[in-house]
């Protein structure tokens, strides 16, 4: 289980046990999608208020898997839980795609000159 390599950082806001628990739940769901996760780092921050907008949360999720680092930056939502949900959904989609590529379910496109093209990055 990867849990020992989970790092959670909270910046510019009160640390919340409920938010930390939600992050741990989201990481467990990522492990169900891709069990070979080696490490996961999550940063949740609430930067200073914008003049015309409320407080917006920024979430960064770094997932280390064999042969790849998946990085998701998701920002600008007024609800920390929604920002976390959106960031982890994006990480899940990238992990699913990476798993398909590793299993050979996704074929590389071949250019007219016969050279293989790398899949487009998200």
State the CB neighbour count (10 A cutoff) for residue 16.
13
pLDDT in tens, 48-64: 665 556 678 899 999 99
Predicted confidence (pLDDT) at residue 10 exceeds the cutoff of 60: yes
Report residue 37 as tokens: 């996760």
- pLDDT tens figures, 77-110: 788 999 999 999 999 999 999 999 888 886 655 5
Average pLDDT over residues 28-32: 95
Kindly report the CATH number that applies to the domain delimited by 5-103. 3.30.160.100
Q: State yes or no: pLDDT of 114 exceeds 70.
A: no
Q: Using alpha carbons, select from 85, 57, 58 the residue that is nearest to residue 73.
A: 58
Give pLDDT, residue 119: 52
What's the confidence (pLDDT) of residue 77?
79
Q: What is the CA radius of gyration of the chain?
A: 17
**Three state DSSP letters for 11-79:** ECCCCCHHHHHHHHHHHHHHHHHCCCCCEEEEEEECCCCCCCCCCCEEEEEEEEECCEEEEEEEEEECC
CA distance 114 to 67: 25
pLDDT(122) > 50 = no
**Domain spans in the chain, listed from the N-terminal domain onward:** 5-103
Position 15 scores a pLDDT of: 83
Residue-level length of the chain? 122
């Amino acid at each position: 289980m990867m849990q020992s390599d989970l790092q959670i950082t909270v910046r510019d806001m009160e640390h919340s046990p409920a938010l930390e628990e939600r992050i741990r739940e989201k990481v467990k769901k990522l492990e169900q999608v891709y069990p070979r996760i080696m490490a996961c780092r999550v940063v949740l921050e609430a930067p200073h208020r914008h003049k015309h907008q409320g407080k917006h949360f920024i979430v960064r999720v770094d997932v280390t898997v064999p042969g790849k680092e998946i990085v998701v930056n998701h920002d600008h939502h007024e609800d920390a839980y929604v920002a976390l949900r959106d960031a982890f959904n994006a990480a899940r989609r990238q992990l699913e795609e990476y798993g398909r590529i590793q299993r050979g379910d996704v074929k590389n496109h071949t250019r007219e000159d016969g050279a293989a093209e790398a899949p487009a990055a998200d």
